A = this chain, B = another copy of it.
Amino acid sequence: MPTDPLKLRQVSVFQNATDDDLKLIVQHGIERSIEEGEFFFFQGDPAIHAYVLTSGRAKLLQMNSAGQQVNLRTINAWQMFGALGAVRENAMYPASAQALEQSTALAVKSDYLHEFMQTRPYVSFDLMKLMTGYIQEMQERYRELATEKVERRLARALLRLTAQMGVKTADGGIELAFTRQDLAEMSGTTLFTASRVLSDWEKRGLIESGRERVVIRNPHGLVQIAEESGK
């Protein structure tokens, strides 16, 4: 099923694009469908396409030489990823993109997007805004990792996810669909430590947890853990 051009308006980079612009993007894109666990691209591949996720969920991750991975960002529908090839020539993807569930994306040639932006400064500017946001977030996470303890990092990760993609449950909780492993990779710790912290929080009534699932019962309590200055 081809992408409806007007839906692309939801993509922050295209918020100021004209209807004709959007049609052009769709015309120059290819639909790619990917199963859970498969990759859109790998770290180190030549960055020949930029992607817009049209359905599903994916993550950007980096691995070190020993195979340990860190989770850089979770991608939801109508978010753009892998766009840096449109800015630098002959760039390689600095991270891999893996589908968290069966997903589809619109792939646009980096070269085309580059050319497209040359004559549409409003698009470049929106892309820049997106990039400054990433820089800020990465700087913040870097500082957290360097100076904060695991419990607080995990609390912040959950709060960030809540803001970005929390789904309200019928009874007022906020549900997040992630494995302990995912959460660990997002907060720079191990599966085991993450599990321990979550168990503790569950005992204290802050959350409710299940397989591949965390329901936040008391967001304010998490904020307190994330913020509390001493200790």
Interface residues of A (CB under 8 A from B): 62, 64-66, 68, 70, 72, 84, 87-88, 91, 94-95, 117-118, 121, 124-125, 127-129, 131-132, 134-136, 138-148, 188, 227, 229-230
Can you list 30 residue pairs at the A/B interface with Cβ under 8 Å?
A: A62-B143, A64-B143, A64-B144, A64-B147, A66-B230, A68-B147, A70-B142, A70-B143, A70-B146, A84-B132, A87-B125, A87-B128, A87-B129, A87-B132, A88-B129, A88-B132, A91-B132, A94-B135, A94-B140, A95-B139, A118-B121, A118-B125, A121-B124, A127-B128, A128-B128, A128-B131, A135-B135, A138-B142, A141-B142, A142-B142
Q: Is the CB of B145 within 8 A of A188?
A: yes
Cα-based distance from A62 to B124 in the complex (angstroms): 28
Copies of this polypeptide in the complex: 2
Q: A66-B229, A138-B139 are in contact. List 8 more A-B contacts (CB 8 A).
A: A64-B147, A84-B132, A87-B125, A138-B138, A142-B142, A142-B145, A142-B188, A145-B145
Complex Cα distance A148/B64, Å? 9
Q: Is the interface of A mostly helix, strand, loop or mixed?
A: helix
Separation of A81 and B117 alpha carbons in the complex (Å): 24
Q: Which residues of B contact A132 (CB under 8 A)?
A: 84, 87-88, 91, 131
Judge whether A147 and B70 touch: CB under 8 Å: yes
- The interface residues of chain B lying within 8 Å CB-to-CB of A95 are 139
B188 touches A146 (CB 8 A): yes
Q: B72 to A142, Cβ gap below 8 A? A: yes
Q: Which B residues lie within 8 Å of A142 (CB)? A: 70, 72, 138, 141-142, 145, 188
Q: Is the CB of B135 within 8 A of A124?
A: no
Q: Which residue of B lies closest to A119 (CB)?
A: B121
Q: Contact between A62 and B139 (Cβ–Cβ < 8 Å)? A: yes
Residues of B within 8 Å of A138, CB to CB, are 135, 138-139, 142
